[in-house]
Amino acid sequence: MAITALKYTVQEKALILGIESSCDETAASVLAREADGSFEVLSSIIASQDEEHAPFGGVVPEIAARAHMQKLDLIIERAISQADVDYAELSAIAATSGPGLIGGVIAGLMGAKGLSMSLDIPLIAVNHLEGHALSPKLAGECAFPYLLLLISGGHTQLLSVKGLGDYERIGSTVDDAAGEAFDKSAKVMGLGFPGGPRVERSAQAGNPQAIKLPRPFKGKDHANFSFAGLKTAVARAYEASDKSDQAKADLCASFQEAVCDVFKDRTQRAMKIFRADVGEGSQRFVVAGGVAANKKIRGALNQLCEDNNFTLLAPPLKYCTDNAAMIALAGAEHYARGNFDTLDVKARPRWPLDGNSAKHNPASGFGKKGPKS
Ligand code: KG4
Ligand code: ZN
């Protein structure tokens, strides 16, 4: 059978089904794109696997893959019915094809290929990170270019986003992602899984100045991050504490404060680099990814933006963590440009958003350690 995407033409108005399965959320969404480029999210269904992974204190890839296999059909069905559309009305299927846990990515991508074939509509392989990068557009107008801080369980990167497919990395983590530092810190303190929201909750009752923690790379003449040392410092501080609820709250608040400090310092450095490239004057700054759901971090970044003549834009909380609306949106943008994939497109465990610029900036590597490598 010839595997071709060339036979399809682009319709001005389109209905895109997005599928997300790269980590521990099985998600599907239907998005309607109008001829003028405006769009509406008609449905966004997310099935979390928190319960499945909680006993292990982290995402177990094999369990994740099985759960995606079991839930995907139902989640797609719900997205279609909540959007009140028919399968026959769909214009294209957009699915996360990496980076992520390979078993889960394969589950979603195979489902998408099956639908694309049976409905005879184009398949669009979406980079999960591009979904996060475009996610502020789900909240409203967000014109290119913008400086993006992408902070999730698998990634911590500062990118210059100049257009669809035009991403340049300014900095990234040299070891752990920020979300991983939250998750591991929560695990050490026995706060449960997923760690980020639990650390944020516990920190509300704590004193952010109580425990002295390192601020890795603060003041350095680049925009990279490091979280491994901070993570270890949290573990040591917890061991030395009386392990009471108050001790945990103080440690969570101090950890969150250290992360905020690091984000402010590194982002300010990146703002200078971004400005030197795109020009002076008011600019846009976007924070996206699961860790962007943290209110303290948003507040700190908002202050930084006010002080540096940047406007902060962020996706609504429900679109910070993994979801399929952002995948449908990225898919819709590619659909409008006729960027279709063939059925032999592969699932990719690693897929840097900025393939070329990462090569030019090897110091920041591919910025990827953690569950979604
Ligand atoms: O974007 P996401 O859902 O998945 C990845 O692409 O990795 O991000 C998940 C990460 C987890 O590490 C989770 O602990 C963290 O986002 N997270 C948070 C909060 N909510 C989720 N971290 C800090 N504060 C939060 N409120
Ligand atoms: Zn993500």
Average pLDDT in the 178-190 region?
A: 96
> Is residue 362 over pLDDT 60?
no
Strands 92-98 and 14-20: parallel
What tens digit of pLDDT does each residue of 99-111 get?
999 999 999 999 9
Which residues contact ligand 1 via a Cβ below 6 A? 23, 152-154, 179, 182-183, 194-197, 200, 289-291, 293-294, 321-322, 372
> Is residue 28 over pLDDT 50?
yes
> Is residue 368 over pLDDT 90?
no
Q: Residue 321: exposed, middle, or buried by beta-carbon count in 10 A (0-12, 13-18, 19+)?
A: buried
Cβ-proximal residues to 243 (8 Å cutoff; 6+ apart), any chain: none
Ligand 1 atom 7, closest CA: 153
pLDDT cut 90: percent of the chain above it: 87
What tens digit of pLDDT does each residue of 251-263 get?
999 999 999 999 9
Domains recognised in the chain with CATH numbers: 14-135+320-360 (3.30.420.40), 143-314 (3.30.420.40)
What is the structure's pLDDT at 184? 95
Least confident segment among 4-18, 198-212, 214-228, 265-279: 4-18
What tens digit of pLDDT does each residue of 113-146 get?
999 999 999 999 999 999 999 999 999 989 999 9
Average pLDDT in the 12-26 region?
A: 96
> Is residue 356 over pLDDT 80?
no
Pocket probe for ligand 1: among 182, 317, 373, the residue whose CB has the most ligand atoms within 8 Å is 182
> Is residue 358 over pLDDT 80?
no
The band of 56, judged by pLDDT with boundaries at 50, 70 and 90, is confident
Ligand 1 atom showing the smallest separation from residue 371 Cα: 7
The band of 357, judged by pLDDT with boundaries at 50, 70 and 90, is low
The band of 361, judged by pLDDT with boundaries at 50, 70 and 90, is low
> Is residue 5 over pLDDT 90?
no
Ligand 1 atom showing the smallest separation from residue 289 Cα: 1
Length of the chain counted residue by residue: 373
The band of 371, judged by pLDDT with boundaries at 50, 70 and 90, is very low
What tens digit of pLDDT does each residue of 307-338 get?
999 999 999 999 999 999 999 999 999 999 99
The band of 4, judged by pLDDT with boundaries at 50, 70 and 90, is low
> Is residue 372 over pLDDT 60?
no
Average pLDDT in the chain: 93
What is the structure's pLDDT at 25? 94
Q: How far is the CA of 2 from the centre of ligand 2 (A)?
A: 33
Ligand 1 atom showing the smallest separation from residue 155 Cα: 7
- With helix as H, strand as E and coil as C, how does the chain read? CCCCCCCCCCCCCEEEEEEECCCCEEEEEEEEECCCCCEEEEEEEEEECHHHHHHHCCCCHHHHHHHHHHHHHHHHHHHHHHHCCCHHHCCEEEEEEECCCHHHHHHHHHHHHHHHHHHCCCEEEEEHHHHHHHHHHHCCCCCCCEEEEEECCCEEEEEEEEECCEEEEEEEECCCCHHHHHHHHHHHCCCCCCHHHHHHHHHCCCCCCCCCCCCCCCCCCCCCECCHHHHHHHHHHHHHCCCCHHHHHHHHHHHHHHHHHHHHHHHHHHHHHHHHHHCCCCEEEEEECHHHHCHHHHHHHHHHHHHHCEEEECCCHHHCCCCCHHHHHHHHHHHHCCCCECCCCCCCCCCCCCHHHHHHCHHHCCCECCCCC
Average pLDDT in the 360-370 region?
A: 43
Largest Cα span, the chain: 67
